[in-house]
Every structure is written in structure tokens, then in C-alpha cells.
Amino acid sequence: MTMAVQTPRGGARRGGRLALSNGVYRGLLAAVVAVFVAVVIWFLVSLIVQARPAFSTLGFSWIIQKTWDPNSNKFGLLPFILGTIETTAIAMVLAVPIGLGTALSLAYLVPHRLRPPLSTAVELLAAVPSVVYGLWGLIVLAPLFREHVEPFLTSVLGWTGLFNGPDQGVGLLLAGVILFVMVLPTMVAISRDVLAVVPNEQVEGAMALGATRWQVLRKVVVPGARTGLLGGFTLATGRALGETVAVALVIGNSPYIAHSIKSPAATLPSLIVNNFGEATGTELSALFGAGLVLLVIGVAVNAVARMLVRSTSRAAAAASVAVA
């Protein structure tokens, strides 16, 4: 046994310097992985350490206080947490139905010959940098919103009370819409992929039972792709939560809680990027704390999504084994 495992000397020389023994090779890989693990830990620890002064001088309640005023030493994060959640909510309310409808069209409704080029185009658009969306939103969309979209929405939906205040263009609504446009390609690309791999037998079976086209999509295709769709939605949510520059350009950057969907507001990332340059002392620490809060929210969304996806896919695997 030992004879068979040993490599002759000549063989080792022919292999050159890369003829590492298996133990050394595994050790090398483990060392490199340790570098990655160390960086992740370094990342978490340094963020926590740098944010700690804010927690120790302001107490834990500063996270949910309403006032951000560095001059009077108040660093409440509530307006920014709300702004982050509100812009993401606007984006997802638009992106989930429109993304799903687009993905269904691309996977099942568009003529066969158009599907590959359209799908490729969508995937390429997913790579467009977010700052480009921000530029477009600020220069092209903001005037359009101020002159046309916001007056129209106010006249139609003003009774809800969501659209009080002046039409400014920049604000929560525009930020949400920009996030929607930005996450749309990612979401459509993922959704289309998982919708397209639903087994053909199931689709044909439903058609043979007399289901209409919509019933096939609604009762067979969408449930069959549920897991992947959920993963795509949460991935998009995570991107919307953490987006910095596109939002910072179009949200108007106001440190107050928004009273209308048209009001200027701010998110955690836009707060950080706008105040970082001049901040010192407790304010700087508070900004790091804002980053920590954002990280916790972002990682929680991500981790829950991945665990959800894993548990449903395991259940699906178990079910398919049971059926087989």
C-alpha cells in the first residue's frame, strides 16, 4: 500500500516545483482560506471597534432616536433607517410584480426567436454600474418627476395623504423608482432562469388537463420556481438596501423623517457617504455605527434568504425522492 502511494523521484522532478505532497497542498489551500476568514473577521471586528465610542457615549437608544444634529451632539438614526426601508419598499413593490411579469414573458410568452437576445440584453444591463443609474435619475428623471409625474400622482392619489407637499423631483419616490430600475435586470435575469427550468412535462400536463395559458403559469410554473424566485427577490432587496451612490444622488438628502412620499429624505448609506468627509470624533463613530446597523440589516436579509432557499430546496428534494 505504501509502495503504491509513493511517487518515484523522477516523477517528482518531472512534476517540477508544483509536485507538492498532498499534505503540503492541503495546507497551502487551508492557509489561503484562513486569509479569507481572517479578512472577514477583521472586517467585522474593525467595524464594531470603531463604532463602539458611539454606543458608549450615546447609549444603545441612539439608533432609534429621531434627531440627527451633529452641532448639538445628536446622532439619531431613525430617519435614515426609515428612509432605507421606505425606498427599498417602494422599489420592491414595483419590482416584484413587474419583474415577475417580465420574466414570465421572457420565458414563455415572447416568440422563441426573440428569447435568447432579449435575455442576454437583460443580463448585460444587470452589469451597468449603479452610479450611471444615479446620473440618469438626477439629470433626466428628476425634472420629469417634478413637472409631470408628481403633479399627476398628486391629483390622482392626493386623497391618500401620501403625496402632500411640494413637487421637488428628488425625494423618496424618485429614489425608490431608481432602485427599482437598477435591481430590475438582476431580478428578471434570475427569475427567468428559474422559470425556464420548470420541467416541460408539468407544463404540458397542465395544458392537457385543459388549463388556460395563465393557469399554467400561475399554478404550475410559478409554484415550481418558487424557491429560486424567492432567492432572486431577496437578492434584489439586499442590493436596494445597500445601494449608496444612486440613492444619494436622487433622494435629496434631508435628515428628517419624511412626511410624504415626495419629501427629500436620506438612507443609511447616503448618510454615510454625504457626511463622511467632514465628520470627526463621535460623529465619525456614529457613521461607522450606521454602517454597522446597515450591515446587520443587510446580512440578516441575506442569511434569512439563503436559509429559506436551502430549506425549501431540501424539502423539494425530499419530496421528489419520495415521489420517485
The residues in 17-46 that bind another protein, with binding defined as CB under 8 A, are 18-22, 24-26, 28-30, 32-33, 35-37, 39-40, 42-43, 46
Binding of another protein at residue 11 (CB under 8 A)? yes
Site residues for another protein, window 168-227 (CB under 8 A)? 181, 184-185, 188, 210, 212-215, 217-218
User: Which lies closer to another protein via its Cβ, residue 47 or residue 230?
Assistant: 47
Long-range contacts of residues 108-115, Cβ cutoff 8 Å, at least 24 apart: 108/195, 108/217, 108/221
Binding of another protein at residue 229 (CB under 8 A)? no
Q: Could you tell me the three cell numbers for 282?
A: 463621535
| Nearest distance from C-beta of residue 166 to another protein, angstroms | 20
Binding of another protein at residue 138 (CB under 8 A)? yes
Q: Which among 289, 320, 296 has a CA at the least distance from the CA of 61? A: 289
**Cβ(170)–Cβ(264) under 8 Å?**
yes
In sequence order, the β-bridge partners of residue 265 are 252
Selected binder of another protein within 249, 251, 266, 286 (CB under 8 A): 249
Selected binder of another protein within 63, 172, 198, 241 (CB under 8 A): 241
In sequence order, the β-bridge partners of residue 74 are 69
Selected binder of another protein within 168, 254, 302, 312 (CB under 8 A): 302
User: Which lies closer to another protein via its Cβ, residue 50 or residue 260?
Assistant: 50
Where do we find the cell 439586499? 238
Q: Which among 147, 175, 172 has a CA at the least distance from the CA of 262? A: 172
Question: Per residue in 118-130, is it b (16+ CB within 10 Å) or e — as a string?
Answer: bbeebbeeeeeeb
Binding of another protein at residue 125 (CB under 8 A)? yes
Binding mask 59-78 for another protein (x = CB under 8 A): --------------------
Q: Which among 226, 220, 188 has a CA at the least distance from the CA of 204? A: 220
Selected binder of another protein within 85, 135, 207, 230 (CB under 8 A): 135
Binding mask 151-170 for another protein (x = CB under 8 A): --------------------
Selected binder of another protein within 76, 134, 255, 264 (CB under 8 A): 134
Site residues for another protein, window 43-62 (CB under 8 A)? 43, 46-47, 50
**Cβ(269)–Cβ(248) under 8 Å?**
yes
CA distance 170 to 138: 8
Q: Which residues in the chain belong to E strands, given as ranges? A: 68-69, 74-75
Binding of another protein at residue 273 (CB under 8 A)? yes
User: Which lies closer to another protein via its Cβ, residue 24 or residue 161?
Assistant: 24
| Nearest distance from C-beta of residue 323 to another protein, angstroms | 26
Binding of another protein at residue 313 (CB under 8 A)? no
CA distance 298 to 304: 10
